[in-house]
Amino acid sequence: MSTRVTLFGIPNCDTVKKARNWLTEHGIDYQFHDFKKQGVPAERLPHWMAAVGWEKLLNRQGTSWRKLDEATKAGAIDESSAAAVMREHASTIKRPVVEWADGQVTVGFKPEDWQDRAR
C-alpha cells in the first residue's frame, strides 16, 4: 500500500482545483492522476465502488451525465453497468476521488470533511 495520497480527477474541474489547493495549503504531499490524460485506472474502479458505492461514485448531477444519450443513462442500473459507463466516460465519475495514505477512499470535496486529514 502506498503511503502517499493520490487525487484522481480532471484538472479544469473547479472542485478538483479546490481540493488540490487545500492539500497544498495543508502541506499534504499528493500525486495527481488526470483522467483526461491517463484515463480511468480500471483496476482501481472496483476498489472505489466497494469503498463508497457505485451510486455515490457515478455523478448523475453533472453536465457530462446530462449529455449522455438516454439509453446509456437508463442502462446504468447496477455496479457492472455503472462501471462500464464510468470507464467510457471518465467525466461521469464524481470528483475528486482521493486514495488517502491510510487506505481510505473519499469522493468529492468538503473542507470540513477533510479537516482531520490535516494533522
For residue 1, give the C-alpha cell: 500500500
Alpha-helical regions (H) of 1-119: 14-25, 35-38, 45-52, 54-57, 63-67, 70-75, 79-88, 111-114
Annotated active-site residue 89? The verdict is no
Residue type present at position 41: P
- Distance (Å) of CA 47 to CA 1, 54, 119: 13, 10, 26
CA 116 – CA 28 distance, rounded (Å): 12
**Catalytic residue from among 10, 13, 23, 86:** 13
Cβ atoms < 10 Å from Cβ of 31: 11
Which positions are catalytic? Answer: 13
